[in-house]
Amino acid sequence: MRDSSRLSRRAALGLAAAVPLAAASPSYAATTIGGERLGRTGVQVRGASGLPKRLTARAWLVADHESGEVLASYNAHKRLAPASTLKMLFADTVLKKFERTEKHKVTDADLAGIPAGSSLVGVKPGITYTVEQLWQGVFLRSGNDAVHVLSHMNGGVPETVAQMQAKAQDLQALDTHVVSPDGFDHKGQLSSAYDLTLFARHGLADADFRGYCSTKTADFPAGGKKTFQIQNTDRLLTGAWGVETYDGLIGVKNGYTSNAGNTFTGAATRDGRTLLVTVMHPKSGGSGVYQETAQLLDWGFKNAAKAQPVGTLVDPLSEGGASAAATQKAAKSAKAAAGAPAAADGSSWGPAGGAAGAALLLAGGAWALRNRRRKAAGGAVDDEVDDMADGRHRR
């Protein structure tokens, strides 16, 4: 549990960011999660310059892990397909349900319903795995087979999806609509750079999450006493495919599908400061998502001391975070005290508002289908092992 005084300071920052900016830009809702400015399109930065010039991502965000301050962003709340970065929310939801040493013998039913073209770690029916090994399969190889086994252990895929959606609501990740626990392409499965950064920040507070996402290699059961080595697919961590490892990198999670493109949330620590960067859907394939992440991390470490926050990563409701409705009420009161007309009800969901938006989300994500209708995911490949670097889909 984080320090409560720190929580209140971050909540205050979010409110402070929302109120004065609302008057300057009335076209944006005062209660956009994290501050009004994060609801704007385009680059948001204050007090610092020199952002990388050739960023091609459709959305990105740079934030300080400790304070939650958002140092710069681009389309922070733009809803995009998350691919396997959604597994961070899966871990936030399920990781503490089972002890690392608990064992489970996999059945055919545990592996039923895995989408064709999924990335797999190689879980086989009839083999007994520890929970730790299954989580290594999730974090290192982004194995949808490991995700489905853990989901069945957790009561089934539908139950796990419902729990993930409830967790997203608690984290105030209101751009996120969960359809499957593995992040594979499905109609209406969406998230945002802001939400993915929330998932990473929350997860990194847990020692197990942090340990798994920073593990480079592990031995995975192959049956009997045999094992095979698995390697983390995070190229900034391992240096695979010619990508230079990033000094101080912690993790966190990469993602790729042929329909969604590349996504990545990374965290790194230098000189006692930890930064979070999320990059979604850059135009360049292969290692482009890692290169743009590294550029934004470099910028963040160089400019963190002088950059003025453009918003904040809000705290979970269960940890004292102010709800969208409470922030909206405070913003209206502040505007009324200043003699300005109160803004119409709104949140990062738009007119639906925070509570109503969450209800819509839980009801099935109609908002997502209205805002982003995608073709059926036929032929999609979820391949974070050797994504488009060599032009081939594997696994």
Q: Which residues are catalytic?
A: 84, 87, 142
HSE on the CB side for 152, CA within 13 Å?
Answer: 17
CA-nearest of 40, 92, 90, 34 to 323 is 34
